[in-house]
Chain A
Amino acid sequence: AQKVTQAQTEISVVEKEDVTLDCVYETRDTTYYLFWYKQPPSGELVFLIRRNSFDEQNEISGRYSWNFQKSTSSFNFTITASQVVDSAVYFCALSEFTGANSKLTFGKGITLSVRP
């Protein structure tokens, strides 16, 4: 069975600090997808990034960057120069792509608080 572990439960930083959110996953499949979602206080989950198991290139999008390492089964997320608006719950998720039966398994989430 697939599993996602987000060992950090709460992180608090001061604005402009860099912060890394860890994600470790378990799967038996060779083809799978990893996601990060942001949940602001409004409750809606916002899609941040998707990565498939064959693409280990790191990605940068503005202040956000992601480090995917299959050797350690990790997909970590770094926010550079954090801002108060980054305060939210962040979820890492995994899906094994088996066609019609695919579904996402989420980690328990990391609550990030960015203080002014």
Chain B
Amino acid sequence: DGGITQSPKYLFRKEGQNVTLSCEQNLNHDAMYWYRQDPGQGLRLIYYSQIVNDFQKGDIAEGYSVSREKKESFPLTVTSAQKNPTAFYLCASSIDLSREWANYGYTFGSGTRLTVV
């Protein structure tokens, strides 16, 4: 079955370390997104990518970096510059935004819960 796989499900990071969250999709979707979820805050957009080798900052990109070398993969690195990284991170994908995107919305992964220790 097609879907989005996020790994790991739980991740612990020490202060000052960079960590990378994995997101892989086999839906042949063009666009991919990273959201951060904090209690009572809803989902906030970190980065998104519409095509390979291109990505744009979302609303809260500071302290994060991404790459899009392959259509299927959109890893997120939480750098030491992110002062409060403890949160639940969700990856999503959608088909070409210029076509029938709105009929399907996004498909989400099951998330990675990152905790700073």
Pick the contact of B109: A37, A44, A91, A99 (CB < 8 A). A44
Q: Is B98 an interface residue (CB 8 A)?
A: yes
- The size bracket of the interface on A is 20 to 34
Counting residue pairs across A and B whose Cβ atoms lie within 8 Å, the total is 61
Q: How far is the CB of B44 from chain A (nearest CB, A)?
A: 8
A37–B106 CA distance with the chains assembled, in angstroms: 10
Pick the contact of B106: A6, A9, A47 (CB < 8 A). A47
| Contacts A43-B110, A44-B108, A47-B106; A102 near B40 (Cβ below 8 A) | no
Q: Is A97 an interface residue (CB 8 A)?
A: yes
CB contact list, B97-117 vs A, under 8 A: 97-98, 101-111, 113
Interface pair A33/B102, CB less than 8 Å apart = yes
Please give the residue numbers on chain A whose beta carbons come within 8 Å of chain B beta carbons, in ascending order: 6, 9, 33, 35, 37, 42-47, 50, 52, 91, 95, 97, 99-109
Q: A33-B105, A50-B104, A97-B102 are in contact. List 8 more A-B contacts (CB 8 A).
A: A37-B105, A42-B110, A47-B106, A50-B105, A103-B33, A103-B45, A104-B106, A106-B44
